[in-house]
Amino acid sequence: MQKNYNVHFTKNARAPNEQHFLDPELGHQKDILTEDDVYCSCLAKTLCHVPVPVTVGFYAPFGCRLHLMLDKIMTLMQQEAAQRESEELQRVQWQPRPVRGWGVPQLLWFLVFLQPVITELHLRRRNVRFLFIRFSAWQYAGTDKLWAGLVTTLCEGIRHHYGALPFSVYSVLGNKPCGPRDGLCQREWHCRRRVCLALLALLAALCLGVGLLYLSLGGHAPGHAERGVLKALGGAATTLSGSGLLMAVYSVGKHLFVSQRKKIERLVSREKFGSQLGFMCEVKKEVELLTDFLCFLEIYQRRRLRVVLEVTGLDTCYPERVVGVLNAINTLLSDSHAPFIFILVVDPSILAACLESAGNMKGTADNGYLFLNRTVTLPFSVPVMGRRTKLQFLHDAVRSRDDLLFRELTIKLQPQSPGVLGAGEGTQLLAVETQADTERTQGRVDAEAARRIQEALCCLHDEGDCLYEYVPDNVVSMRRIVNTVPITVRLLQQQQHQQPDRVGPTPRHAVAWVVLANQWPCRLSWVLQCLEDRQQAGGAPEGRARLWDVFCDNSRELHTMTKALQNVLDLDGDPELFERFLGTDFPFTVADAQSLLRCTVNLDHSIRRRMGLIRAVSALKPPSPPKSPSRDGPQAGPRATIAAGTSQAGQGSGHSREAHQTRDRTHGVKPRPMA
């Protein structure tokens, strides 16, 4: 397994997370709080006061600004922790004890000689510090024990922040916090008398042994026998005391170099031990040791500690791995005093399907949603992206492009023809002037394209325009649209440069066409395929005809292909928005579609080819068989008469053939075969 932990602690309070928008009417920036800021603020304040342990179900589909919201929640929780820290300092005037730098020797002294006590004063403390650890399940998806990666990431993250030495000393000599010995006692620390006495005894024995050895070797003893006795006693005392101290140092050193991560990895590698019942018990012991260490640090630092573990990428793993991670979370949460906050960032529909399809969960998680509700104690479904939030994301995506700030550097190839190479000075001068004119023309085209790109992208995040309403809430789709618009506009500009008499689409219509191809690729491909088939058949509609009318005329045929095009139809967005888009806000015509089709790069043309093949195969169906005469109504009489006449004629011809055959046999002639 590879290391994967990111640890973040609270720092000094920073300025509030304010979003900036460009007001088109006022022309300057003003601070506006977006809808996502409100959601994240409410969740962050709740997590600061929620009792632990807790599992937060952060539900959202892929690409719905999950990591951005997680970063915002982390920042808001840090700000809340810093504010509560300052309020607590004003109330009690006690500075928290450091755990880094010069505070390490003091921490080691407390670990060895003092035992913490959970008092009422500690329970009333409001200052808190958050430790953020992120676990990406996708990086461990190839391992059989994905849950082991979760536990080791948690242990390694805490060890990485507080240092290996304090945790190693606590693993050997530390003692878990206990409750107050009497109700009136408010002391948070008690001396560990047994440890002190044992250490004093070892030191006294060591000093005594060294003294006896000195006496036996220094010649102060009266006789040879007495020297032997003193030497034996001194050696025994020195060996016993020294071995005790060396064993303690060896144990600390062993835990210092062999971390919990390596221990769990060794347990996982043992297949025989992994199948035994005591495997999870050993893992549970390591987790309890980690929990007790955090509780010790809470009392030592005079603040509450909360470990926030963000689990991402779980919906991209195999079902059995997903079940293992959920079981590991339940194991970590089994301790009622564990200071853990799990944020499970998943798509609930995918996670429920994984639980239902897992072979080892048959009978336990037949309904994945019910099993998920047993684990999650605080569900938070990411709401639909609000208007201000969408405009902010679009504005940030547009501002991230460099071609709106600087002119794109292009490499211009200088064509060299054989005539130029072998011509005279006049021909070379003419070639240089022609090349300069071409470069100036291309520069004007590029400048005009850059202006049109800026105008088109500004339409995306314009609050007065309705175009942003059709942009999806998915951040990935937003970036896809923003990255496609410059290509489309440049292709249109080149097309218009080649045909200057033709009036092309405006930048607003260009970006609207990109949105149309991104949101409804199946329906748009169907309309384009129908236009192509009509044009090949010679009955193409007029250029002024609307695409929406063409779609309505052929929608029934598309409905008959829903089974064959189910996967493609799933790519389309809301059908009501499609009707409003083409019918009201952007009524594209057939001429517009023919002009924009060559510049459409974000539409998969294989969808159109698939539709064309399905239409061609459906046209090759055999005609329906004729209906039965008995099912005909008034026309049964004439048809019956014709049929009767036909049968009589057939019978007459049959009798004549039999007569000819009889006559032939009588004359000895071989009968002729019947036709």
> What would the pLDDT profile of 55-92 be if each residue is shown by its tens digit?
898 988 766 678 888 889 999 999 999 998 888 888 88
SS3 63: coil
> What would the pLDDT profile of 210-236 be if each residue is shown by its tens digit?
776 666 666 555 566 666 666 666 667
Whether the Cβ atoms of residue 385 and residue 37 lie closer than 8 Å to each other = no
Cβ count near 426 (within 10 Å): 8
Q: What is the pLDDT of residue 225?
A: 64
Query: pLDDT exceeding 90 applies to what percent of the chain?
Result: 10
**Dist. CA 410–CA 63, nearest whole Å:** 33
**Dist. CA 562–CA 548, nearest whole Å:** 19
Q: What is the pLDDT of residue 130?
A: 93
Q: What is the pLDDT of residue 662?
A: 42
Overall average pLDDT of the 124-152 stretch: 79
Distances (CA, A) of 422 to 172, 292, 416, 436: 89, 88, 11, 20
> What would the pLDDT profile of 146-170 be if each residue is shown by its tens digit?
677 777 888 888 888 888 888 888 8
Tokens matching residue 216:
């036996």
> Which of these, 249, 236, 175, 170, lies nearest to 209 by C-alpha position?
236
Q: Please state which of the ranges 9-18, 92-101, 103-112, 300-309 shows the lowest mean pLDDT.
A: 9-18
Tokens matching residue 155:
């242990």
Q: Which residue has the higher pLDDT, 635 or 66?
A: 66
Whether the Cβ atoms of residue 368 and residue 48 lie closer than 8 Å to each other = no
User: Does residue 325 carry a pLDDT above 70?
Assistant: yes
Q: What is the pLDDT of residue 341?
A: 92
Q: Which residue has the higher pLDDT, 522 or 283?
A: 522
Q: What is the pLDDT of residue 7?
A: 46
User: Does residue 491 carry a pLDDT above 80?
Assistant: yes
Tokens matching residue 11:
């720092």
Q: What is the pLDDT of residue 437?
A: 59
Q: What is the pLDDT of residue 412?
A: 38
Q: What is the pLDDT of residue 517?
A: 92
Greatest mean pLDDT among 117-131, 186-200, 440-454 lies in 117-131
Confidence category of residue 525, pLDDT binned at 50, 70, 90? very high
Name the average pLDDT for the chain.
74
> What would the pLDDT profile of 253-266 be if each residue is shown by its tens digit?
776 777 666 777 66
Q: What is the pLDDT of residue 624?
A: 62
> What would the pLDDT profile of 411-461 be if each residue is shown by its tens digit?
333 344 444 334 445 445 445 555 555 666 666 777 787 888 888 888 888
> What would the pLDDT profile of 335-354 be if each residue is shown by its tens digit?
777 889 989 888 888 888 88
Q: pTM to 2 decimals? A: 0.65
Q: What is the pLDDT of residue 576?
A: 93
SS3 493: helix
**Dist. CA 263–CA 282, nearest whole Å:** 10
Question: At 348, which helix (H) or strand (E)?
Answer: helix 348-357
Tokens matching residue 165:
């030495």
**Dist. CA 332–CA 135, nearest whole Å:** 15
Q: What is the pLDDT of residue 183?
A: 54
> Which of these, 405, 406, 341, 411, lies nearest to 377 by C-alpha position?
341
Confidence category of residue 132, pLDDT binned at 50, 70, 90? very high
User: Does residue 277 carry a pLDDT above 60?
Assistant: no
User: Does residue 509 carry a pLDDT above 50?
Assistant: yes
Confidence category of residue 364, pLDDT binned at 50, 70, 90? low
Overall average pLDDT of the 475-503 stretch: 82
Whether the Cβ atoms of residue 353 and residue 368 lie closer than 8 Å to each other = yes
Q: What is the pLDDT of residue 464?
A: 85
Greatest mean pLDDT among 13-27, 225-239, 538-552, 636-650 lies in 538-552
Question: At 351, which helix (H) or strand (E)?
Answer: helix 348-357
> Which of these, 139, 151, 135, 133, lies nearest to 267 by C-alpha position?
151
> What would the pLDDT profile of 603-627 be if each residue is shown by its tens digit?
888 898 999 888 888 777 666 666 6
Q: What is the pLDDT of residue 95?
A: 82
Backbone angles phi, psi at 15, to 5 degrees: -65, 155
**Dist. CA 599–CA 12, nearest whole Å:** 52
Whether the Cβ atoms of residue 130 and residue 10 lie closer than 8 Å to each other = yes
Greatest mean pLDDT among 21-25, 44-48, 288-292 lies in 44-48
Q: What is the pLDDT of residue 586?
A: 92
Overall average pLDDT of the 1-19 stretch: 40
Whether the Cβ atoms of residue 177 and residue 117 lie closer than 8 Å to each other = yes
Q: What is the pLDDT of residue 441?
A: 65
User: Does residue 297 carry a pLDDT above 50?
Assistant: yes
SS3 22: strand
Which residue in the block uniquely carries the two structure tokens 């607590």? 88
Strands 340-346 and 304-312: parallel
Q: What is the pLDDT of residue 291?
A: 87
SS3 424: coil
Instruction: Using the Cα atoms of residue 381, residue 386, residue 388 and residue 393 in order, give the sign of their dihedral.
Output: positive
Q: What is the pLDDT of residue 656?
A: 41
Confidence category of residue 14, pLDDT binned at 50, 70, 90? very low
Q: What is the pLDDT of residue 498?
A: 73
Output b/e per residue, 63-98; b: 16+ Cβ within 10 A.
ebbbeebbebbbbbbbbbbbebbeebeeeeeeeeee
> What would the pLDDT profile of 370-412 be if each residue is shown by its tens digit?
888 888 889 998 888 878 888 888 888 787 765 544 344 333 3
